[in-house]
Chain A
Amino acid sequence: MSKVEGVSKVESVSKVKGLQTFPGNRIIWHALIVGVVWLLLLLLNNNIDPLYSSYLALIAMYATAMFGMTILVGLSGQVSLGNGALMAVGGYVFALTSMNWETVPIFGWQWNAIWSMVFAGLGGVLVGGVVGGLAARLKGPYLAGLTLGLAVGVPAITNRFPELLGGENGLMLTVPYPDGGYAAAGAAASLDPGAEGELESTTDPGGDQNGELGTDDQFAELDLSEFDQETDPDAGLATEDLLTEEDFGSGDQLADGDLLTEEDFGSGDQLADGDLLTEEDFGSGDQLGLDGTDIGTDIGTDAGTDIGADLNVDSDSLLDGFDSGFIIERWQASMAIAVACIVAFAALNLVRGRQGRVWKAVRDDPIAAAVVGISPSGSKVSAFVVSSLFAALAGAVFAQILSFIGPGAFGLGLSLSLLVGIVLGGRASLLGAILGAILLVWLPELVDGLAGERGWPEQITNNAPNLLYGLLVVAVVLAAPGGVTGTIRSWVDKARGKARSPLS
């Protein structure tokens, strides 16, 4: 991936003159870069183990949020800890719109995740506009303190509206996965030896899923066999039986007609991997409990109309999908990559265009910027709104990856992670955001692996990544303020005899 970025960078450097005169050219170049990266990532996603696909999904999700941090912290110079909270906004809007799509007035007849994503983005823009309006009046530590309050206040706000937002327990999502599954359209089917084989292979490489997934596999198989038995005789009757069964584990797979089985159980591991700071907040017990009630209502509303037919079809495609290897991790990764690439394209055009220069100008000298006709507060608000939009989209992706949204996942820890990632990768660079995202996902895995080898106690293992992050952040701020990308760039510039600020 980084190789590709490197190539694209060389290309863009060689085109600098053309880029400056023809903005249209620049957009085409950016589209080309992003398109190639997107394609390569999809290829990668299809050919790696599903476990790594789930990491890929998390990396793409973090990168989406951190493109916004690049603009807000790096270019506009506003330290915000509110982006985790804005991710929560996106996640909750996604959850609420996708769960209550029948009551959302427009486009209800063809609801899918994309509409929920759009609404999530709008929610982010709205909240970001309000907070950004406040923020534009504030400097450095005041903004950080205010947004810190926002981050700490998220659980309080969700608890304030327990019926709507689910309080501490959060909301389970019924993610509207595409019909027919992901693998049916792709080449994955031929690559995969079989569903069971895939599931087992997900448990192997990590080595840290202490037996939990093993039992989950059994669950999945059990579920499957039940499907087999019950769908065969009579689809219409079977649906009733299936749906009323409470001991069925994760019922929402029925509502979706898709293979959420592995995902539901496997998500525990993804949570542990992805949400670095708040692993303890996700008991699978809660999720199951919520499932039960959710399913009940779903059935109630859907019962008369098309659910029989749906299930009839879906239970077939369910089995087909399983045979042809619908792999939830791959679907999640491809979805997260799609969002990340679209956001990256927008961010590239903003950062390397006029708006990027405006943000930097205000960051470096607001008075001088005002003298040449730039509104400093307008520039700050626009940076905040853009980063809020990106954060909300990332939050919606995160909610889909987790199939769950709750205050625990979106607290201060997440906001701090984003800050850590952007600082380590490179504050003012989009490539730095990607590197930071990789670091956020990879470092805990590395520590876990080391801990497994050396037999460290859990207390050490759980906290080692954060200790490293904290120390690295301090070290980077002191020794290399530009992060990884800024430092490399300054080396390159030095070699070419140019001097440049590491943050430019």
Chain B
Amino acid sequence: MTNFIDYLLGGFSNGAVIALMALALVLVWRSTRMVNFAQVGQAMFTTYIALTVQQSTGNWVLALVVALLAGSILGVVVFFLVIRPVKNSDTTGAIIATFGVLIALQAGAGMIWGGDPEGFVPPVDNAGLEIGGRIWPVSLYDLLVLAVTAVLVIGLTLLFTKTSLGLSMRASAFNPEVARLSGVRVNRMLITGWAIAGATGAIGGVLIAPFSTISPNSFDILLVFAFTAAVIGGLDSLIGAVTFGIGTGLVISLVSGYSDSGNAPIVALVLLALNLLLKPDGVFGHHGSRSV
């Protein structure tokens, strides 16, 4: 039982990062009705930028802010150069194009920073905390990750529910034509959506990097987990992405604890397949949100 609790607690911070990546996918889906398979590629790239900043200045907060800015800029660049021109043609082409961006970003990162895995030093201690004479599987850094994620999620929720910008974004996601007629600058909302998604993914990347190492391909598996979480959550639901992002993190932690971390992708695959078969609209999704 203690094992179970330990594994469960250990999964939260990982789940938080998966939730952030899933959020990024959902934000893109809401604005342009497509899955951005380059999302983790963008996050990987900005994490490398953050790593460079941290290595040269030693300032983690600065690195996070730089990653955030770089992520939103990269999101907008990808939107303008790739997504907007392709959007009106076939959906197959749009999917393929995002994979093209992913390949190019990974190769570009390999060119600039090399292919060897690099460590990302966490700003606070990443060793388990000792409370009440017992070492818990939660570190100070895990708490920081959870706090940053919580702030981000609350901020996004407020943005979407309490501000006119959020209202416009929801309107243009819900029905672009009507929104345009009502005076919403739909195109601007799409750009904003991509920028926020890029920034969210970038923060996720910086947060997850200290848990292992960073290399051009190291986030591939994160894409699978985030996609799983986003799809189970319904792809257009922010709450769904967060809930099932954390849920996926917990399941992975349990699977890794009881068997082997190598089994995690298989479990994610099974979860995804089951969900797509049994509840294809996702748990929090609106019916019909899947028809492209």
Contacts and interface: CB of A to CB of B under 8 A. Distances in A.
A373 to B, nearest CB: 23
A471 B104 contact: yes
| Interface size grouping (class) on chain B | 35 or more
Interface of A is mostly: helix
B84 to A, nearest CB: 10
B86 A478 contact: yes
Interface string A144-177: 1110111011011101100000000000000000
B105 interface: yes
B292 A474 contact: no
A503 interface: yes
A116 B207 CA distance: 47
A149 B268 contact: yes
Interface in A115-165: 134, 137-142, 144-146, 148-150, 152-153, 155-157, 159-160
A89 interface: no
Given A145-B272, A159-B262, A473-B99, A79 B92 contact: yes
Contacts of A79: 92, 95-96
A481 B34 contact: no
Contacts of B228: 145, 149
B277 to A, nearest CB: 7
Interface in A42-94: 73, 77, 79, 81
A462 B110 contact: yes
A153 B290 contact: no
Chain A's interface size range is 35 or more
A6 to B, nearest CB: 27
Given A423-B96, A466-B106, A477 B272 contact: no
Interface string B62-103: 000000000000000000011001100111111111011111
Interface stretch (A24-32, A325-333, A389-397, A412-420): A412-420
A77 B292 CA distance: 14
Interface string B142-180: 000000000000000000000000000000000000000
Given A463-B108, A477-B93, A142 B231 contact: yes
B181 interface: no
A459 B111 contact: yes
Contact of B100 (A138, A141, A473): A473
Contacts of A160: 262-263, 266
Interface stretch (B6-14, B123-131, B218-226, B242-250): B218-226
B132 to A, nearest CB: 37
B37 A477 contact: no
A470 B89 contact: no
B82 A140 contact: no
A182 interface: no
A460 interface: yes
A444 to B, nearest CB: 12
A137 to B, nearest CB: 7
Candidate in B224, B263, B266, B290 with the most chain A CB atoms within 10 angstroms = B224
A148 B292 contact: no
Contacts of A423: 96, 100
A160 B264 CA distance: 11
B264 A474 contact: no
Interface in A443-483: 459-460, 462-467, 469-474, 477-478, 481
A467 B231 contact: no
B48 interface: no
A155 B134 CA distance: 36
Contacts of A148: 37, 223-224, 227
Contacts of B114: 459
A280 B115 CA distance: 10
Nearest to B216: A463
Interface in B252-292: 260, 262-266, 268-269, 272-273, 276-277, 280, 290-292
Interface in A398-453: 412, 416, 419-420, 423, 427
A79 B95 CA distance: 8
B107 interface: yes
Contact of B107 (A134, A146, A463, A478): A463
Residue with the highest number of chain A CB atoms closer than 10 Å, among B85, B107, B110: B107
A156 B265 contact: yes
Given A148-B37, A478-B82, A157 B220 contact: no
A200 to B, nearest CB: 32
Interface in A207-232: none
A462 B103 contact: no
A306 to B, nearest CB: 41
Given A144-B35, A459-B110, A464-B107, A471 B276 contact: no
A150 B269 CA distance: 7
Contact of B276 (A81, A137, A416): A137
A466 B107 contact: yes
Interface string B40-53: 00000000000000
B45 to A, nearest CB: 12
Given A140-B292, A423-B96, A152 B106 contact: no
Contacts of A146: 269, 272-273, 276
A137 B105 CA distance: 31
Contacts of B99: 81, 144, 416, 419, 473
Contacts of A145: 35, 37, 224, 227-228, 231, 272
Contacts of A159: 260, 262
B248 to A, nearest CB: 12
Contact of A462 (B34, B89, B115, B231): B115
A81 B37 CA distance: 12
Contacts of A467: 103-104, 107-108, 111
Nearest to A134: B273
A474 B82 contact: yes
Contact of B37 (A137, A144, A469): A144
B277 A149 contact: no
Given A139-B291, A156-B264, A477-B93, 12 more contacts: A79-B95, A81-B99, A141-B34, A141-B292, A142-B290, A145-B35, A146-B269, A419-B99, A463-B115, A465-B107, A467-B107, A470-B104
28 contacts: A73-B92, A81-B99, A134-B277, A137-B276, A142-B280, A144-B35, A145-B224, A146-B273, A148-B37, A149-B224, A149-B268, A152-B220, A160-B266, A412-B217, A416-B102, A466-B104, A466-B106, A467-B104, A467-B107, A469-B107, A470-B105, A472-B100, A473-B97, A473-B99, A474-B81, A477-B94, A477-B100, A478-B97
Interface of A: 73, 77, 79, 81, 134, 137-142, 144-146, 148-150, 152-153, 155-157, 159-160, 280, 412, 416, 419-420, 423, 427, 459-460, 462-467, 469-474, 477-478, 481, 503
